[in-house]
Chain A
Amino acid sequence: MNLTEEQIQRYSRHIILPQVGGIGQQKLMDAKVLLIGAGGLGSPAALYLAAAGIGKIGIVDFDKVDISNLQRQIAHGNEDIGRWKTESAKNTINGMNPDVEVVEYRVPINAENAMDIVSQYDVVVDGTDNFPSRYLMNDVTVWLDKPLVYGSIFQFDGQISVFKKGDGPCYRCLYPFPPPPGSVPSCHEAGVIGVLPGIVGSIQAAEAIKIVLGIGDPLIGRLMIFEALEMKFHEMKIRKNPECPVCGDSPTITEPIDYEEFCGVQVGV
């Protein structure tokens, strides 16, 4: 074990857990997690991953902090308005845990850069707000055999799952192709209760940490539905679809796709 005296103190509540211990903490400190989005979901995920001592956190976001973000995006504060979200999140992360190496990607994730960026990480946490990025992340993580921790939110409801090639289905097994433009509303058009991404993003962080540690039962093959108004969790089974266009027996999608924007408004993908 190579933990310093300060690290032993910092992570003592982890280290005394038999499921983590010094070896588990070392795994966390050696782990590289990529966050797609430093917004509602990415904020709590980033903070808990940083607090847990994840060694390297990559953050992909090409947006700047706006005052309307602050109702839910807890990695950013009032003084960050107008700053790059990656920069603001890095500042918050390192304020909490200076040991974490934060890599900023101030670019939209797209077919050109996705494989290169994702290949440098062990786990991907999907906190995007649009279908093109979600499908792209799904496909790329299938090809690179990286676990994808999926989360999405709408008004008072959230969804969480873990997609891992070999062990279970992928997002396209659940929904093979994106809905046509205008058929489902997007985040941009609908409100969201501010604490909802906090809950969903924290669950995503928990799943990422479990994957790194190799403990417990991840949400593989299970779609968890959270309803804040009822304060209920439901769970649906997701099966691997042999006809899945990306992870099925005869894949028809073999290269990254930049889907047209179909969120209702331009998000710059």
Chain B
Amino acid sequence: MAVEVRIPTIFQKLVGDEKTVASEGANIIEVLDKLDSDYPGFKERLTNEDGEIHRFVNIYVNNEDIRYLDQLETALSDGDVITILPAVAGGSI
């Protein structure tokens, strides 16, 4: 499945300063593996040593949190938009 992945600002350096990248996979884990082969080191920024997504990083498929879908196994369709969203503290006091 061809999908679009929206990359958060803090990870954009890993993907050549792109805001969105095209990727593919039948589910989230395949997309992350593909991203990691295209941009080595990408996946390790999102996951812990057990391969689970860090709890301060959320992943959405078309605006729905994958934790409420099938997590990393969430199946994808052509044209799906995946958003990666880490916690942000900034308020600039």
Contact = CB atoms under 8 A, between A and B. Distances in A.
Contacts of A153: 88, 90-92
Interface of B: 6, 8-10, 19, 54-56, 58, 60, 63-65, 68, 83, 85-93
Contacts of A159: 88
A185 B45 CA distance: 13
Contacts of B88: 152-154, 157, 159, 184
Contact of A152 (B54, B58, B90): B90
Contacts of B64: 236-237
Contacts of A134: 89
Interface string A167-184: 000000011111100011
Contacts of B6: 234
Nearest to A63: B93
A11 interface: no
Contacts of A139: none
Contacts of A225: 83, 85
A141 interface: no
Given A131-B87, A225-B83, 7 more contacts: A129-B92, A154-B88, A184-B88, A187-B91, A192-B90, A197-B91, A234-B63
Interface stretch (A13-21, A36-44, A92-100, A207-215): A36-44
Q: What is the predominant secondary structure among interface residues of chain A facing chain B?
A: loop
A181 B10 CA distance: 15
A267 B90 CA distance: 12
A147 interface: no
Nearest to A127: B91
B10 to A, nearest CB: 6
Nearest to A190: B90
Nearest to A189: B90
A39 B86 CA distance: 23
Those 7 A-B pairs whose CB atoms lie nearest each other, nearest first: A187-B90, A39-B93, A40-B92, A179-B56, A129-B91, A175-B87, A129-B93
